[in-house]
Each structure stands twice: as structure tokens, then as C-alpha cells.
Structure 1
Amino acid sequence: MAGGILWFTHLAMKEINMYKYPIGKLRVQPVGIIIFAAVMATLGFQVLVTAVQQLIENNPPEKMSVDQLVWLYSIMIFATVVKLALWLYCRSSGNKIVRAYADDHHFDVVTNVIGLVAAVLGDKFYWWIDPVGSILLSIYTITNWSGTVMENAVSLVGQCAPPEVLQKLTYLVRAYTFGVLYFVKVDIELPEDLPLKEAHAIGESLQIKLEKLPEVARAFVHLDFECDHKPEHSVLTKLPDHKSDHKPEQLL
């Protein structure tokens, strides 16, 4: 079921219809994760109700036979090993849907191990160990997946970007005083193959909007196709105390 929900979410994101969804379907990703996490949290609550009901009724189950124990060990250990391998494989992905699937595999590993231990101890010693283990697992399930719901729900309501993203954006915009107003310099990166006419229109429209601000005296928009190089206009080389190996060329 988990894989089906996440796979449907992935397929929905790939189907692009610019007329029906003009801004794309990127928000389908957190919506799919929220649905998946909500289902898991609901299942955890159902397990909690069943385990508490079993304790209240005080109805111990029958002891498992040797064959049943062998089947239990075989199935649970095999499933846990497979889930562990899938978790190690999926957790390195940068895709949030795959990462959610990795969380599901990790959750299954934890629940399988604890569930197996609780079932065996409950069968050999005290029957109530099994429902108590189920209660602990259900609380873990509800807490874990409720946190996932909240994390993705926040991303849908317009939460502020993290500090590192804001610092990167602030670095691209500089403003300094020019009398009582400000000069503003903006660096923007455009595709390398973008036609000059379109690049000029983008830069000019941004410049006009900035200069409409009452605090801005003049705006300069620098267009580039990459942002990894050093700034072209260095002020340090023109300072009196700055030492440079570059010798000025003689003017003819």
C-alpha cells in the first residue's frame, strides 16, 4: 500500500499539463506523503485500540507450536533483511518521495524486530508482553508519522525559507547609500542559450520595478550565465593600501 501511494504520487507529478496546472505539480509530492503518513498513523491508532482491548479482556492466546515458531522466525527475519536492504538503498536518494519510502522501510525494520521479540517473549513467558509491545509500537507509529504529516503540511502553507537559502538570495542583492537614497545592484543567472533580446527584457523589467521603489535612486541588474566566478568589478585593487602584483599598463 505504501509503495502504491508513493508510486501514484510520482506518476501524477510526471504528467504535466500547463493549461490545467500552469505552475506544475510539485506540490503533489508533499500531498502524497501526507496521505501516506496519515494512513500509517491511522493504522497505528487501530493497533493501539486492538492491543488495549486485548489487555482489558485479559484473554491470553494459545501457545504457538514449534512449526508456527519456525514459520514466524523465517518470515519475519526474511522480511526484515529485505526491508533493511531497501532502506539502505533508498535513504541515499535526493527525491523526497524515495526518502519517504526509505522512512517506511526503516519503520518496518524497527516494528518487525520489536514485534518479533514481543511475540516470542509473550509466547514463552507472559502473554501480556505481546500486546504491551504492540502498544509501544503503535505509539511510535503515531508519533513518527504524525511528525511527517506536520513537516510536509508546513511546506504547503508558505513557511519561510531556511536561513541558508535566504543568505544565498541576500548575497545576490546589494544596496548602498547614495545620498538619502540607495543604489541597488542585483546579480541574476540566466540560461546560457537564452536569446539576448529575452535576457535584456528580463533585466530591464527587473530594473524598472526596483527603481519604482521610493528608497531606490538607481538600480543595476547584472546578467550572467553562471555565478561561480569572481566579481568582474573589484574595488580592492583600487584602494591605496592594497598590494597587487598587477602592473598598470602605460597609456599611449
Structure 2
Amino acid sequence: MTEMLESFTEMDPLAENGLLSGMSKEVLERNAKSETTAIRISNIANMVLLAAKVYASVKSGSLVIIASTLDSLLDLLSGFILWYTAFSMQKPNPYQYPIGKTRMQPVGILVFASVMATLSLQIILESVRSLLSHVNEKVFAMTKEQEEWIIGIMISVTIVRFFLVVYCRSFHNEIIKAYAKDHLFDVVSSMVGLVAALLANSINHWIDPVGAILLALYTIRTWSVTVFENVNSLVGRSAEPEYLQKLTYLCWNHHKAIKHIDTVRAYTFGSSYFVEVDIVLPADMLLREAHDIGEELQEKLEQLPDIERAFVHLDYEYTHKPEHAKALNV
């Protein structure tokens, strides 16, 4: 209940003044610059750390280190996808893409996840083949000097990644949160890879391919969750009831002439929501006044960071059947 009241309070400045609190131009520009810096730092770190892991893979010949390096490569690819989709969405083309390009981000993530799953399966197959043929028993063996190099590289990668996780989690931007998720996953894969490689070198060869299989399965499982989340965003899943209540509160307090709120819908459209609102105004109101009320409400709704597009329908009664009845048929 307290959270609900707080969310309603957040809507009061927007309902009364048409502006969100803290949404000044200077604040938005400063946030945009900070987010751009975070993305650049993450991309540069991905390239440098990938090079370090490639060297560790060549130096050790460990399958589990190779699997961890593959994850870093995929981090770099995912970073490129996230950067490209963000860049593309900032350059709208109203003629070729009249409803925007917000779906490019989840589509890009789905493509990336498919590539990741394919490469992870290849790692599993290679690890199983290694287990069955026992080739690792002869090939996989590191000298003391190689061990020291691998430990130094993997621990350094882990430390850098950990600081990047903390840094990226301080942002509210969804793309930077995705970077934070990638960095955290690389922390896990790097430590698992290092431990498995050292145990395989000192105890038994089979620990290396088994560690690679576990790491690949963890990769598939982690990104499967991301796939399902993005599929939901593409098929138009409804927003949570709490979010719809917040939108209803904003609509009701928008103008004193609103007599009734017939419909409030919000559904996913890529990474953002599309909103449909039906409000009831007096039947004898002038078209000019009614139009201004509806347009101002649309502008307020579209100021909310989660909303890509808002549609406001004006009516003079609410006893008719719902519009778009075809979408409501079971």
C-alpha cells in the first residue's frame, strides 16, 4: 500500500504541471552523457578483457577457459547489438518505421541469444568428445609458469569485471543494466573456469571438460530466461496492475472535466509500453476544448520513461461496447 501511494505521489507533479519532477533539460543531458560514458567504458573493457582471455586460452589449452573466453566474446557481441539498437532507435524514420524502432532491441537480443546457444552447444559437444576419447589426459597439462600466467590473467579479469558490475548497476537505463548482467556473468564464468582448469591440471583431466559443460549449460540457462523476457515484450504483454493503477491516477487527475475513465491499457512494445486510454468528457463540450484535453494527456503520458507511445480516445459516454472488440475475443 505504501509503495502504491508513493507511485501516485510521483504522478502529482505531472498531473498538475505537465512535468515530471527532476526532469529538467540539464538533468536529462547529464544522465545521457553518464550513460554514454558507461557504455563506452564497458565496450572498451570487453575488448581488452577478451584479448586477455584469448591469450589465457592459447596458453592453457583448457576447454573451460575457452568456454569462459567464448562468454567474453559474446559479451562483446551483445554490447555491439545493444549499442547498435540504441543508436538506431535514436534515429527514427517516420516513413519506413511509422511506429518507431523500439522492437529492434529485443530482436537483437534474441539473435544474440541464438548465437550464444549454438556456440554453447558446440562447447558441450567438444567437451563430451574429450571425455569419451580421453584426449585431454595427454594434451591438457600446464607448467608452473603457465599456471601463474593463467591465475594472474583470470583474477585480473574478475576484479575489473566486478568493479564494472558495481558501476553499471548504479544506472537505471535498461541497456546499461544489461551490461551489468553481462559483467556479473563473466565474473562467475572466469572464476569457474580458473578453478576447474587448476583442478584439472593438478587432480584429474576430466574436471576440465566437465567444468566446460557446466559453464555452457549455465550460459544456455541464463540466456533462456532473457529470451522468454524479450519474447513477452514482442507479443504485447500487459503491464502489471500496479502500473495501470498509476496511469489511471494520472488520467483521473489530468483535468476536472473528465467524467469517467473507460479504459486504460498498457502493453509491451519492444522495451517500452504502448498505452491506450479512453476518457469520457461532457457531450456538449466544444471540439477544440476536448481536443486540447486529450492532447495534453497524451503528452503527459509520453513523458513517462517507460512509455513509447500513448493514444487517447475521447468519448461522451461509456455504455457502448469496447473498441477493438476483435482483440478481446477468445
In the aligned structure 2, how far is the partner of 1:89 from the partner of 1:204?
A: 41
Query: 1:53 maps to what in 2?
Result: 129
1:27 corresponds to 2:100: no
Query: 1:201 maps to what in 2?
Result: 291
- Aligned-partner residue type, residue 12 of structure 1: S
1:154 corresponds to 2:232: yes
Q: After superposition, what is the alpha-carbon deviation per residue over 1:164-216, rounded to whole angstroms, capped at 9, x for unaligned?
A: 11222344567xxxxxxxx942499xxxxxxxx9764143796852526438x
Report the CA distance shift for 1:123/1:200 in structure 2 as closer, same or farther (over 3 A): same
Offset at residue 161 of structure 1 (A)? 1.1
Contact 1:38 1:145 in 2 (8 A): no
- Aligned-partner residue type, residue 35 of structure 1: V
**Which of structures 1 and 2 has the bigger CA Rg?**
1
- The equivalences for 1:127-146 within 5 A come to 127-146=205-224
Contact 2:127 2:212 in 1 (8 A): yes
Contact 2:85 2:104 in 1 (8 A): yes
Query: 1:112 maps to what in 2?
Result: 190
- Aligned-partner residue type, residue 201 of structure 1: H
TM-score (norm 2): 0.55
Contact 2:294 2:314 in 1 (8 A): yes
Query: 2:260 maps to what in 1?
Result: 185
SS of equivalent residue, structure 2 residue 315: helix
Query: 2:93 maps to what in 1?
Result: 17
SS of equivalent residue, structure 1 residue 211: coil
Query: 1:97 maps to what in 2?
Result: 175
In the aligned structure 2, how far is the partner of 1:199 from the partner of 1:82?
A: 58
1:38 corresponds to 2:128: no
Query: 1:121 maps to what in 2?
Result: 199
Offset at residue 54 of structure 1 (A)? 0.8
Question: Among 164, 169, 180, which residue is 2:242 paired with?
Answer: 164
Contact 1:47 1:138 in 2 (8 A): yes
Gaps of at least 5 residues in structure 2 are: 1-76, 253-257, 263-276, 278-286, 296-311, 322-330
Query: 2:78 maps to what in 1?
Result: 2
SS of equivalent residue, structure 1 residue 160: coil
In the aligned structure 2, how far is the partner of 1:8 from the partner of 1:184?
A: 45
SS of equivalent residue, structure 1 residue 150: helix
- Aligned-partner residue type, residue 142 of structure 1: I
Report the CA distance shift for 1:160/1:57 in structure 2 as closer, same or farther (over 3 A): same
In the aligned structure 1, how far is the partner of 2:198 from the partner of 2:162?
A: 21
Gaps of at least 5 residues in structure 1 are: 175-182, 189-196, 216-252
Report the CA distance shift for 1:207/1:89 in structure 2 as closer, same or farther (over 3 A): closer
SS of equivalent residue, structure 2 residue 291: helix
Higher helix share: 2
Contact 1:83 1:106 in 2 (8 A): yes
- Aligned-partner residue type, residue 114 of structure 2: A
Query: 1:221 maps to what in 2?
Result: none
Q: After superposition, what is the alpha-carbon deviation per residue over 1:90-130, rounded to whole angstroms, capped at 9, x for unaligned?
A: 12322222221211111111000001000000000011111
Higher RCO (C-alpha under 8 Å, 6+ residues apart) = 2
Query: 2:265 maps to what in 1?
Result: none
Report the CA distance shift for 1:62/1:142 in structure 2 as closer, same or farther (over 3 A): closer
Count of matched residue pairs: 201
SS of equivalent residue, structure 2 residue 260: strand
Q: After superposition, what is the alpha-carbon deviation per residue over 1:56-86, rounded to whole angstroms, capped at 9, x for unaligned?
A: 1122134201121121111111111111111
Contact 2:140 2:205 in 1 (8 A): no
In the aligned structure 2, how far is the partner of 1:204 from the partner of 1:65?
A: 73
In the aligned structure 1, how far is the partner of 2:288 from the partner of 2:189?
A: 56
Report the CA distance shift for 1:153/1:126 in structure 2 as closer, same or farther (over 3 A): same
